Structure 1
Amino acid sequence: MIERKKEMGRDRVSRLVSWGHWFAFFNGFLAMIIGVRYIETVGAPESLIGWSYLTISTLGHFSFLAFIVYLVVLFPISLILPYSKILRGLAAVAATISLCILLYDTIIYDDYGLHLSPFVFDIAWADLNSLLQGTSYIVTPLGIIILELTAANFLWKRIEKIRKSNYGNKVVIFIGICFVSSHLIHIWADAADVTEITRLDDAYPLSYPATARSFMERHGIEKGEMSHNDTRTQPTLNYPISPLQCSANDRVNLLLVTVDGFRADMVDEVTMPFLYQYARNNHQFSRHHSGGTIHESGMFSLLYGLQGSYIAASDLDYRSPVLTQELTQQGYALGLFAPKMESVVPNAIYQNLEDHTQSLSEGIADADIRSIETFKTWQAEQVQPWFALINLQSPDSYDTPIGFLGIETVKPKQALKPAQKVLFNQYRQSLNFIDKQLQQLLTQVPEETFVLITGVNGKVFTSDNNEARTNLSPVNVNVPLIINWPGPANAKTVNYSTSHYGIVPTLMTQLLNCNNKAQDYSSGQSLLQPNPNNWTYVGDNLVFGIYQEDEITVIDRHGKYRIYDKDYSQRLRKKISAPEFIQVMREGRRFYNH
């Protein structure tokens, strides 16, 4: 009799475990249906390989999540309380809560571009009224729990028939193959830079696809070796939001001079005497911020006028900035004069510009000299209005030409380590070299030329590229901005906060006669008026900072954040400001198709 009871108990537990697996599979299927909302946010694939990866990734990921919930919540209860009525009720409640959390996460992701975490939930709670509209937050959970109870009872009544069909092992094997295959495909896609696949990395919650870039490169597989020649995908951005309405009236020449690693606090009468005086005679902006801390994010914010969160958007690999599009439309000759770059991000950023990049065989300083000489020759040959972008990179590498006689070394105003003191003074030599090059350039530019000089990014004295990228201190973000307008000299100092995001709207409205609102094509507005937002976004899609009047908030892709004082010298023990963060996240989604 005792053995019989034990056998019946084991059979009951076995039936409950089997039922639990099928119930988890059913909920994995429901989660996949909800997961379609993520694809609507990031944009559906266009190629067959993209759809294939998305299908097997979705099947594997959501089935795995459902099984984890079952394993953590329901499986222990099956052993402790092996009673079907209790288990079915608890399972329906647990599944309803899980699916409601997933639904809420789709709303958060669509609005902020981040998945739920304690930090994101805290922010979203402050914005709950705008996120949850109508009565759906009441009706939807009721509908889900009714569906879950119905499914739980339906499966329990037919569990014996289902077990005898022997479909269970086949389903497990199929889901397992999908799960493993999706990770193997992603390893290949990551190494081959197949953006049709890798752009989906953050689409699903708790998704951490496997990568093996370094392993594959060690075995002779170079980045992009297996990628397709045409990676163009379905457009994901409305950029510009509305067609441009511009008119070509009095066209003037435009010269943009950008300097990598150019700190605002280093433009003084000793280090850069020519530029110091040039700024005093023209329009200078004393509180100007770059949009990034490295060349890629700084130039992206300057030419596209968009937050760095858009830098990885796939269609920017073939869609050039609206600024250069409009210049081309109005008949300008466009030229790029810069040292040769190993990679360009996004691919289309210089698409409309005639390439005059210089070899680095003799060093960056020599390439800067040749860039300016090449520009002078090119400019003299033009018979139509022109736009020239001259990018100088010597200061970012502390480089000067052989035999250059610079300035005397000085003691840094701020405390630096011995190695940093050496870099500081070598940096000053490089800036002094650039100052002399600017003098030669600007004294020969035709009078009726719009001239804009700025830094691509600031500079911290380190040789660690990762530290330079993630350091969001003012010295790495605050850059000079000097504008010489055509016509009579107009010396003026602007003391309100400005950023790279305002450069494109200024050029479009003041020089290209565009009537569109700046919001149609930019994350900023004209430099000629104070920004109504009390924050500036600095960084890219992985690590970024929110610059405000008295504090700097640094946030990574997972929502972890740190808050510093305005000098970046002290970490503040306080919570992030919800209103500003919500504005930043919405601006980072505003140009995406929905």
Structure 2
Amino acid sequence: MKHLDYQPMRSISWSLRLGFVCLAFGYLIALRYLAGVAWPDSFLGAVYLTTAFVGHFAFLALIAWCSVILPTALIIPNLKLAKVLITFELGALLLLLIVDTFVFQQYRFHLNMFLWKLILNDTNNEIFAFSNTMKALAVMAIALVIALLFFIGQKLAQPKKSWPHIRLISALLVVYLSANLIHIWADAQYIQSLTRYNRNLPVYYPATATKFMAKHGWLNEDAQQANASLSMNKQNASIQYPLNPLQAAPLTAPMNVLIIAVDSWRADEMNAEVSPNIWDFSQRSMRYNAHFSGSNSTRAGIFSLFYGLPSVYWDAMFANKQGPVLIQQLKDNDYQFGVFTAATLTNPEFDRTVFRDVDNLRLTSEGDTPIARDIDLTKDWLQWIDQHQQQGADKPFFGFLFYDAPHGYSIDDSLPAPFLPEEDINYLVLNNDYDPTLIRNRYRNAVYQDDKLIGQVLSDLQDKQLLDNTIVIITGDHGQEFNDTKHNYWGHNSNFAAPQTHVPFIMHWPGQTAKEIALETSHFDIVPTLLHRALSVTSSERDYSMGGNLLAPVQKNWRLAGSYSSFAVISEGLIIVSSLDGSMHIYDENMDEVSSAALDYSVLSKAMDEMKRFYK
């Protein structure tokens, strides 16, 4: 009987030695994640980046060794065969790391199922075009890595002295824990100069303990606010926005601009019954029947409205304290700002992104309920516009009113609520069989009451004869679902189907005739329209957005939508979703998952380009 040569302890010991060598190679490869990243200017920052880098990849290596290498060493009954398999496994892990570094440098996110799907299905090289030389180099690189590991493996087969495996692993775990402890403190103190490096490391989710720190009095709120207000050195920025300095002709007859947004306002609830005042206004304006938000959530929806860019750029804009060019152009033309929102502007951090360049920003409204705060913001706006007309009517104004009642299903019992029967939402009872009629009526009543408030704003503009010189946009930040797709989706921020992304859009533009527009448009189109047609910007819209002209819309066959943890490419009835956890799924318009679909890779290529164009 042939001897199997089963020596698991020798396999384990040898694999640990080769694993440490591969970890050293991994560190060298992973330096690519830090290419172009400014070295921290503080000692603590340098310590954090170093410990996070060293500790995280050591931790990943330990996980890989325990889950892949160790089982091979234990299961394979032949020492030589085990070494061969382990060598190929370690080589594959190194090659995977190499590929991810290239992906990150190209797109600023790491390998996920979305990209794997593109790579595996890009048979015509429509997205990833590789020359024969590049293919040959790739094959040579793979062969070189495997050959090098076999050579090193042979050298390590008979070590001259034992390796301190346990001490090395223990030391690296201490480094890993140190990085997490530093991050807990930096996160609680809001030190972005440290935490901004997190996104560079793949599958890196360092520890946080904000509640624990606050409970023990270790959360320095003053320091948090102070650090948040500090501008980062633009020389360290990883974003180039706009791509080129904006060029504009002199603005001789500036028009006022007023944007009214309603949180969680779905498109089919803009009608004569639910929103009669806005409906009446829409009959005298341009009404866009196929308009979509850039998101299914507030943060990314408002971001798409003011930046004209997908939500993947939020972190970069936030980290680099980069406000939208729309606001800057308004300031350059001496516009007066009236920003009135029901929900606080500090969460999401619109005060540090969208409105960071607005002076004396009003951060919140008074009131215990969303509808009470909506009433308060309306009152304050009417007072502000009165004061503007009395003291600064010679200067144009930009107004932004953001209503919140539908988001919270909030109504005022003293105001009319015609949709009955109704009840407040109870999230605990929602399921796929739940009848949404009562909460849908509650939602409609919230929209109805906000419509009454917005009607006051519109009537006031009419009374002051401001509509002759004011662009008025009325829309939603995103939609709201009531299990429309019959997959137990409620509210928003859970999928990218129409109920959560299709929003009303009405635009009154002085000199433009009232009409309905059937072509698909989106929030990405707002900024280029205002900059080009209202603020005389002559630069290409490609320099600062991914949108087009709402006054002359063109047919589109795809669009982007993003949220806090995922993004979607929506085209030809398919919703292709990629999540930050690496998962990738394809759905139809009703959120039924599609197991196999003929994807248009030219569209996906364009979408990928939009998500990386503004990174340096």
- Cα deviation for residue 479 of structure 1 reads 1.6
Contact (CA 8 Å) 1:235, 1:315: kept in 2 or not? no
- What residue in structure 2 maps to residue 496 of structure 1? 519
Q: Does 1:536 align with 2:559?
A: yes
Q: Within 1, Cα distance between the matches of 2:198 and 2:45?
A: 12
Q: Deviations over 1:523-576 (max 9, x none)?
A: 22222344565222223241334333424344422243444443x364444448
Q: Structure 1's 13 and 417: CA in aligned 2 closer, same or farther, altered over 3 A?
A: closer
Q: Structure 1's 122 and 334: CA in aligned 2 closer, same or farther, altered over 3 A?
A: same
Contact (CA 8 Å) 1:334, 1:352: kept in 2 or not? no
Q: Does 1:481 align with 2:509?
A: no
SS at match of 1:179: helix
The letter of the residue matching 1:449 is: T
Contact (CA 8 Å) 1:297, 1:539: kept in 2 or not? yes
Q: Deviations over 1:486-506 (max 9, x none)?
A: 23x511211110000110011
- Cα deviation for residue 301 of structure 1 reads 0.8
Q: 1:417 aligns with which of 436, 460, 472?
A: 436
- What residue in structure 2 maps to residue 404 of structure 1? 415
Q: Within 1, Cα distance between the matches of 2:309 and 2:378?
A: 31
288-297 or 506-515: which moved more?
288-297
Q: Within 2, Cα distance between the matches of 1:394 and 1:185?
A: 40
Q: Within 2, Cα distance between the matches of 1:122 and 1:473?
A: 21
Contact (CA 8 Å) 1:338, 1:371: kept in 2 or not? no
Q: Within 1, Cα distance between the matches of 2:74 and 2:405?
A: 69
- What residue in structure 1 maps to residue 347 of structure 2? 343
RMSD: 3.6
Q: Within 1, Cα distance between the matches of 2:112 and 2:364?
A: 47
Q: Does 1:212 align with 2:209?
A: yes
Contact (CA 8 Å) 1:309, 1:588: kept in 2 or not? yes
Which aligned pairs between 1:59-458 and structure 2 lie closer than 5 A? 59-72=54-67, 74-75=69-70, 89-117=84-112, 120-127=115-122, 129=125, 130=128, 132-133=130-131, 134=134, 135-156=136-157, 159-161=159-161, 163=162, 168-222=165-219, 227=224, 229=227, 230=230, 232=232, 234-250=236-252, 251-313=254-316, 315=318, 318-339=321-342, 341=344, 342-346=346-350, 347-354=352-359, 355-356=361-362, 359-361=365-367, 363-380=372-389, 381-382=391-392, 383-400=394-411, 403-405=414-416, 407=418, 409=420, 416-417=435-436, 419-443=438-462, 444-446=464-466, 447-458=468-479
Q: Deviations over 1:23-66 (max 9, x none)?
A: 21111011111112223387765544333222212222223333
**How many percent identity over aligned positions?**
26
Contact (CA 8 Å) 1:260, 1:457: kept in 2 or not? yes
- Cα deviation for residue 465 of structure 1 reads 12
Q: Within 1, Cα distance between the matches of 2:187 and 2:489?
A: 22
Q: Structure 1's 543 and 437: CA in aligned 2 closer, same or farther, altered over 3 A?
A: farther
Q: Structure 1's 421 and 396: CA in aligned 2 closer, same or farther, altered over 3 A?
A: closer
- Cα deviation for residue 87 of structure 1 reads 5.9
Contact (CA 8 Å) 1:470, 1:543: kept in 2 or not? no
SS at match of 2:160: helix
Q: Within 2, Cα distance between the matches of 1:392 and 1:31?
A: 50
Q: Structure 1's 187 and 316: CA in aligned 2 closer, same or farther, altered over 3 A?
A: closer
- Cα deviation for residue 303 of structure 1 reads 0.7
Q: Within 1, Cα distance between the matches of 2:74 and 2:577?
A: 46
Q: Deviations over 1:158-200 (max 9, x none)?
A: x224x2xx75554333212112222333333444443344444
Contact (CA 8 Å) 2:419, 2:442: kept in 1 or not? no
SS at match of 2:29: helix
Q: Structure 1's 73 and 353: CA in aligned 2 closer, same or farther, altered over 3 A?
A: closer
Q: Within 2, Cα distance between the matches of 1:150 and 1:501?
A: 54
Q: Within 2, Cα distance between the matches of 1:476 and 1:107?
A: 34
Contact (CA 8 Å) 1:237, 1:315: kept in 2 or not? no
Q: Does 1:468 align with 2:495?
A: no
Q: Within 2, Cα distance between the matches of 1:518 and 1:540?
A: 23
The letter of the residue matching 1:361 is: G
Q: Within 1, Cα distance between the matches of 2:553 and 2:421?
A: 36
Q: Deviations over 1:216-248 (max 9, x none)?
A: 445455485664623726212111111111122
SS at match of 2:549: coil
Contact (CA 8 Å) 2:476, 2:504: kept in 1 or not? yes
Contact (CA 8 Å) 2:277, 2:451: kept in 1 or not? no
426-435 or 177-186: which moved more?
426-435
Unaligned runs of 5+ in 2: 424-433
55-64 or 201-210: which moved more?
201-210
- Cα deviation for residue 389 of structure 1 reads 2.0
Contact (CA 8 Å) 2:112, 2:584: kept in 1 or not? no
The letter of the residue matching 2:232 is: R
Q: Structure 1's 187 and 368: CA in aligned 2 closer, same or farther, altered over 3 A?
A: same
Q: Within 1, Cα distance between the matches of 2:76 and 2:497?
A: 57
Q: Deviations over 1:97-149 (max 9, x none)?
A: 22112212222333445433555322222347426442321221233234323
Q: Within 1, Cα distance between the matches of 2:160 and 2:280?
A: 88
Q: Within 1, Cα distance between the matches of 2:598 and 2:76?
A: 44
Q: Within 2, Cα distance between the matches of 1:78 and 1:339?
A: 61
Contact (CA 8 Å) 1:409, 1:425: kept in 2 or not? no
Q: Structure 1's 154 and 220: CA in aligned 2 closer, same or farther, altered over 3 A?
A: same
Q: Deviations over 1:362-403 (max 9, x none)?
A: 621321322331332243122222222222333333445563
Alignment TM-score, normalising by the size of structure 2: 0.82
Q: 2:22 aligns with which of 10, 19, 27?
A: 27
